[in-house]
Structure 1
Amino acid sequence: MRNILIALLLSAPALAQANLVTNGSFEDSAVAAGSWSVFQSINGTWSTLAGTGIEVQNGVAGLASDGTKFVELDSHTNTGSTSTNTNSTMAQSIGTTNGQNYNLSFDYAARLNTSAATNGLQAFWVNTLSAGATAANIIAAAAPGSMIANLSPGAGGSSNVWHTFSANVLGGTTGTSYLVFKATGTADTYGTYLDNVRVDSVAPVPEPETYALMGIGLVGLLAARRRKLLHTH
């Protein structure tokens, strides 16, 4: 009987699949504990579209939402005697299916001990470009029409307060979508933290008729098993 129930449950449509974002918690980056680094690209997963680069922190100021590392896009670099800080933009290309629903989510927090003016983060879902699109084309497509989040987390306190943003997005006709994040607010090397980025494909909720058929099948199996037991006595 238990095997029958397991088989019926496994036959039900799955409601979600694995995370389609690669390195969504930024753990796959060479940043030692207590330090930070700025990357133009993180092992081919996230790429800088504009600005100084992708700043990955590991226990420098506050704790991560998932794992030990997170990103700050109001990034800062030193080149010789020159110090540069800019609000940067990064993206990752994701294979998607035309018309498929996806659940996009990520965690964000205001940087520790900062004013509201320096914190801000925008997210875009671009599903109109083909694979291999240039940075310029992705930036151009990351316009108000493709914006899914324009976040102002306020001032930062003495510890990270993580919030989760979630939205439904659709796959486009090209087979590729681009998830884009952009820092906003004052460009002063202090900006909003980002972590635990996910894109999960969501299957349609089964129609009531599907569950009814499963119930009929279960009743039939129970009846057959009862007849078999009666015939063995």
Structure 2
Amino acid sequence: MTDPAYVLVPGAGGEAWYWHRVAADLRRRGRDVVSVDLPGDDESAALPEYTRLVVEAAGPDRRTGLVVAGQSLGAFTASLACARLPAALLVLVNPMIPGPGETPGQWWENTGQARDMRENDTREGRRAGAEFDAATYFLHDLPRELVEEAAAHERPESDAVFASPWTLPAWPAVPTRVLIGRDDRLFPVAFQRRVARERLGIVPQEMPGGHLMALSQPAEVADRLEEYWAEVDGPTAMG
């Protein structure tokens, strides 16, 4: 088996810290890991700049065993980077799965996210249409000690990225896995199943956890990454 090297791409805000618990777990297993920090608050940087940073972080010499993982908004950048890297596997975590020519700003309406989130809020007893609250939609399943730490790493995402189109004509020819949280309140599980099926023809794998499950469930996320790698590694593996 080939030893994998992981390139971990964060979501909105671009903080590499989002992946720090998964990265630590993978390193304990002897894996090479790079968590990419993206300039989320820089209005001069958009998807082309983000993609370049991910490609540079992956390094010019790695030619085998490269696994790229992108969380939420990071699915846009991770997939673009895979078109320029010798990636062996792409893993999307609670992702915003893009379509050709689509911007992250358009993705919300195109996928019907707001409708599905409202319906899920109603089912679970939250007041649909209430003002967005990070504690309710992002932090609800984090360990208490991480909530304050997460606030210290909060960074806005620039309008430039939300206006930047996904420029590939089709999904990159890289084996792709989609991992979703059953407790995600921002992208409810039924919503994510539908989008993954419609856009990639993939049935996502589900696990416990909310939108930030690399923080709330790092060991299990690391386990899933390793399992996906085992599935695609080897001469008889299929994508």
Q: What TM-score does the superposition give when structure 2 sets the normalisation length?
A: 0.26
* Higher radius of gyration, 1 or 2: 1
Q: Comparing both chains, which one has the higher relative contact order based on Cα–Cα distances under 8 Å and sequence gaps of 6 or more?
A: 1
